[in-house]
Amino acid sequence: MSGSGYDYSTSIYSNDGRVFQIEYAQKAADLSGTALGIRAKDGVVLACESFPGSSLIIPHTQQRILPVTYNIGMVSSGLLADGRYLTKQAQEAAQSYKKNYHENIPLSQLADHLQLQMQQYTFYGSLRPIGVATIIAGFDEKPQIFSLDPSATCYGYKGIAVGREKTQARTAIEALPLDEITCRQAVKEAAKIIHSLRHEEEKAFEIEMGWVTEENKRVFEKVPLEIVQQAEDEAKAYLQEQEEQD
């Protein structure tokens, strides 16, 4: 991808109407580890893969899934620092709404706020687009998922994936009976999807998951490590069985 002089600023369009700075930011998100969100009948599950990068790093300390409020969480694929910045913006917006209106911010309104925040970074030549694709999930009146990309496009989803293997992951999510499975089943499906997209020559990775469910009283929290590990073990066994049958 070459901007040929049109990529110096977000305020410059190329001859064919492209804004290369936004495309570069999207590339940063697409080269990052896969993250996905699955809306089940009783809640929402977020999952992502992360790469420790060194054997000296303590496992499960590089967190990409972060809470926003007691019932909302986020995961970002792309530049980790940008993802944390966007999460902070979401937390501050939720706190301000709570202070002003004495109630929790609706997830759809929070998604709209983040969309406007990200859009600001595509307007001015002195700024660069935020280099993450983000999934925000929560449970207010019903479980919901929204996803935003560096161009500030925002949609609601039943299931979504972002990151380097997003196309294959979305195809796998589309095949799930999302209106029938529970969050515990969604955890297993998420582990299966992430492991199925791995390549043998790739380095070690970790799976991180968070959920908000009817079972945990609509509180967003990390999925317990023992449940994640069990889901990973079952996913590996399933994929091994599939390979032997082939």
Q: What is the pLDDT of residue 12?
A: 76
Q: What tokens does 223 get? A: 């999925």
Question: Using an 8 Å Cβ cutoff, are 41 and 53 in contact?
Answer: no
Cα–Cα distance for residue pair 45/88, rounded to 1 Å: 21
Q: d(Cα 150, Cα 28) in Å, to the nearest integer?
A: 10
Q: Which of 195, 210, 204, 131 is nearest to 165 (CA)?
A: 195
Task: State CA 72 to chain mean position distance.
Answer: 13
For residue 95, which amino acid is it?
A: Q
* pTM for this prediction: 0.92
Q: What is the pLDDT of residue 56?
A: 80
| Residues near 49 by beta carbon (within 8 Å), at least 6 away in sequence | 33, 34, 35, 163, 194, 205, 206, 207, 208
Q: What is the pLDDT of residue 6?
A: 60
Q: Give the per-residue pLDDT at 161.
A: 98
Domains, the chain, with CATH or none: 20-245 (3.60.20.10)
Ordered alpha helix ranges (H), 10-124 = 20-30, 80-101, 107-120
Coil/strand/helix, residue 147: strand
pLDDT of residue 66: 96
User: Which tokens hold the place of 159?
Assistant: 């299931």
Confidence at residue 60, expressed as pLDDT on a 0 to 100 scale: 77
* Cα separations in angstroms, 144 against 3, 4, 42, 125: 37, 41, 11, 34
Q: What is the pLDDT along the chain (246 residues), one digit of tens a residue?
A: 555 666 777 777 787 888 888 999 999 999 999 999 999 999 999 999 988 777 788 877 788 999 999 999 999 999 999 999 999 999 999 999 999 999 999 999 999 999 999 999 988 878 899 999 999 999 999 999 999 999 999 999 999 999 999 999 999 999 999 999 999 999 999 999 999 998 665 677 899 999 999 999 999 999 999 999 999 999 999 998 888 876
pLDDT of residue 61: 79
Q: From CA 137, how far away is CA 244, in angstroms rounded?
A: 37
How many DSSP H helices and E strands does the chain contain? 6, 10
Supply the pLDDT for residue 200: 62
Coil, strand or helix at 210: strand
Helix, coil or strand: residue 51: coil
